[in-house]
Every structure is written in structure tokens, then in C-alpha cells.
Amino acid sequence: MKNPAETEIRTRFAPSPTGQLHIGNARTAIMNWLFSRHSGGTFILRIEDTDVERSTRASEEAILQDIRWLGLDWDEGPDTGGVSGPYRQSERLELYRTHASRLLEEGRVYRCYCTPEELEERRRRLRAEGRMVQYDGECRTLTQQQISVYENEGRKPVLRFASDESDVVFQDIIRGEVRVPGNTIGDFIILRQNGRPMYNFCCVVDDHLMKISHVIRGDDHISNTPRQALLYQALDWPLPVFAHIPMILGPNRERLSKRHGATSVSEYRAMGYLPEALVNYLSLLSWSSESGDEILSVERLIDEFNFARVSRSAAVFDREKLDWMNGVYLRSQEPDRFSRLIKPYLSGEEFPDLTDEQLSQLTHLFQEKIETLSQIREKAAPLFREPVLPENNEAAELLDSETAQKVVTLFLSLSSDEQEWNSGVFRDLMKKIQTESGIKGKELWMPVRIALTGQMHGPDLAGLVTFYGITKCRRLAAQALRT
């Protein structure tokens, strides 16, 4: 049979709809998508929903929305159709039963009637004896009489694959040759008592019938591959090319989990990360561009992606680096787009209905100062609070000083509610205050900033006063004077 590596490139991403799309799974989807697009191949989305108790259509739709938001499109899938459908495993059950029946007829699998209690007792005994815990093949050689007894007891069998002790060998384009001793695998279940297929069996049937050429997935799946290889061999099907990409770890080098912070794509989306930044960052976990560049457009990622530059080492998720990268992308946005992006984060009682002009002014003030869109709330909130209160004792003491009070007093006496007001007029006003008071530098500018915002640091002051307007600036300055 023809080697799948010599045929059309077909990759797949196969999430289970039991929760939100995890960052690690998103990285797997991205690598499958990049490789298929780089190779001019086909990218397939398959939903692995045989876990009836936990799978939901709501979760499936949420995952699809996250994948679309990332900018990944698929050529075949549950919503687009295709030549290899259906694309939900729950709709392919008859296919699994057909191939399981074939393996049963050929003697490659057998009916196992052992109860959960019997299996647990054997596992307990094996652990006590210090032996490997795996199925002991009790039901491999049942007589018809024994089968009749079990069935009369009402026992429902599972189907187990009859493994042997030969080593299982497969090639991985990241790890090279992988060899697993056959005596460590055991006789594994392919069909449950209720007829529902197990994960490994579904994968093999689906990947073959969908003509998947490359199985690209996290290396936490590498323990499944020997069982899948045995199933391919038993069904006389060629193995796909395997590529097990390293796991993503947290900063403490443990598997990335909730204790490290946000782990789902939807959480990063809500916090205001751009999809292009997230795709760029996740692509660089265990892979790198030959150029050494880190800011890479989707077009460059597609053009440069190859497995030769995928590391075998686990990747550490660095939130600070992601923030930096997202900040680079935010600063590169056209002002009009940035204004549209921040608008959803400036809603609620804390913020009035902002005009397009106000959004444009906020863009000017903060586009260079935030790394995630959600930070705009914290940055912009002080601009809408009244009365303005100093943020700490240092700011309060500075504003209460004789020098600061003199600056604020001159700010009021040298300005007027009726005058034209913009950043240039404001700078001219500050020069007049400096000339009249002899105060300059930080002692000149800081009192005005604290009076208007309560903060010692913040956005460009000339832009800020333009955003406020002269009437509000004078009102806040008056409130800052000692009574």
C-alpha cells in the first residue's frame, strides 16, 4: 500500500467538546493548520464526542468559535461537510462497530466478561506482588460453556484487542524511531459493554477513513500510539506519519494548569489578546523561525513552518513574553481599528457613552501604554472619576505643598472657561505659569497631573487636557486647592 507521506497532505484537529479550548490544544490546532497550509494540503476538523456524559453541543460551538477567532479555517468539518463525513464521532458509531466485528471475526479481538470488581481485585493482587498492572488475558481462551454461563448471568462483554509481546516500533518525525516493548501494552479494550468505542479505536478508524496523512498532536498522546499502531497492523492499514509535539509547561515546569493562571483561549480572548498575537506566540512554543525573528505574520508562519525546527524539549508558557508580544501587535494597529477594539472594554456605569472622537482621543493617549485590551479599563477609569483623589500619601503631600498650590492657583488665574483649548494652548499656559512663578520641571508639571488625575504617572498630559476640555480642567484644578 502507498505510504501516506507520499500522498496528499491531510491533517486533522480533533477536540473533545467537554469544556473550553485549552491553550495546549489550540497550539496543536495551529501546528496542524500551519503544516497543511504550508504543504497545500487539507485541514480537517473532527469532533470526538463519544464521551456522552460530558460532551455538549454548547461546548462544541464554543470551541469552533475560538478556532475561528484564532483565524484557523478548515476544509472539512461538522459545519462544512466534506468527502469523509460525518465529522462527529457520535454520528460514526456504525462504522466503528463494523470494523470491530471484522477484528472479532478474524480473532484479533475477543469478548471479555470480567466485571469491574474482578478486575480491581486482580489489579490489587498484582500491585501487592510488585508486578506490572495490566489485564491478564483471563477471557482470551473461554470455552463456549463458560461464555454461556457468563451470558446467563447477564454479563455484557467488552471487546479486547489481543496483544502479543512483540515490540511495537513506529517513526516519529520529531522523536525519530520509537520502540515500545510489547509486554508493557496488555490487552486493551476497543469497545465498551454498551457498544461505545474507545478513544484509540475511534482514532484509528477515523484517521484511516479520512485519509489522514500526518497525525500531529501533543506528546501526552505518545502512550496511545503503540496501541493505535497495533490496530493499524491488525486492520492491514498503513500507519500515518506521527509527530508528537512537546507539552506546554507552566513556569514551575509542571504541566500547564489553572494554578498557573488562564489556560483557555476564551479567557485570553476576554482579557484582550489579539488572535494574531496568540497564534504567533503559540507557534513559537517548541518551534522557531530560522531567521530568529519572533514577530511573525501568519503568512510568514505558513511559509516558514517545518518540523525540522520543532524541538523535542517541553515549552514553558511565559505570560510576560505573551504580554510583550501582544503589546507589539496592539501598537501596530491602525488607530481606527484600535479604537474599535477598545470600545467593548469601556462600557458599564464607570464609563459614559463615548463618542467616536473620544475613542480616538483615548487611542492617542493609551495605544502605546497597554499590552492587553482589557488594561484600557484600569488606565482610562481615572479620567472619568470625580472628585479626583490623590492615589497615595506621596501624591497627597506633593499636591498640598506650597509650590504645588501656587502652580494650581496660577493654572486657574491664567486660564478661562471661554478660551480656545487644545494641547498647544495648554503648553503655552504652562510656559506662562513657569515664567510667572519661576517653578519648572517636575515641580511644575506634577501638581497639574495630580490635580487632574490623582496619579503621579499616566498618559501624555497635553493629550489628557484636550480630552477633558477646559471647563473640566478648571473644575478639577479648583477642587485641588486647599480650602
Amino acid, single-letter form, for residue 164 = D
DSSP labels for 330-342? HHTS-HHHHHHHH
Task: Identify the active-site residue in 156, 211, 258, 431.
Answer: 258
218-245 b/e with 16+ CB inside 10 Å = b?
bbebbebbbbbbbbbebeebebbbbbbb
In whole angstroms, give the CA distance from residue 408 to residue 101. Answer: 88
215: which residues sit within 8 A by CB, 6+ positions away? 12, 207, 240, 241, 242, 243
What 8-state DSSP symbol labels residue 94?
A: H
Determine the 3-state secondary structure of 69 from DSSP.
helix
Region of residue 137 (phi > 0: left; psi between -120 and 50: alpha; otherwise: beta): left
Amino acid, single-letter form, for residue 367 = Q
Active site residue 258: yes
User: Nearest-CA neighbor of 193 among 233, 150, 228, 230?
Assistant: 150
Amino acid, single-letter form, for residue 186 = G
The three grid cell numbers given for residue 150, joined into one nine-digit string:
457468563
The three grid cell numbers given for residue 357, joined into one nine-digit string:
472622537
DSSP labels for 141-158? T--HHHHHHHHHTTPPPE
Report, as residue numbers or ranges, the catalytic residues. Answer: 258
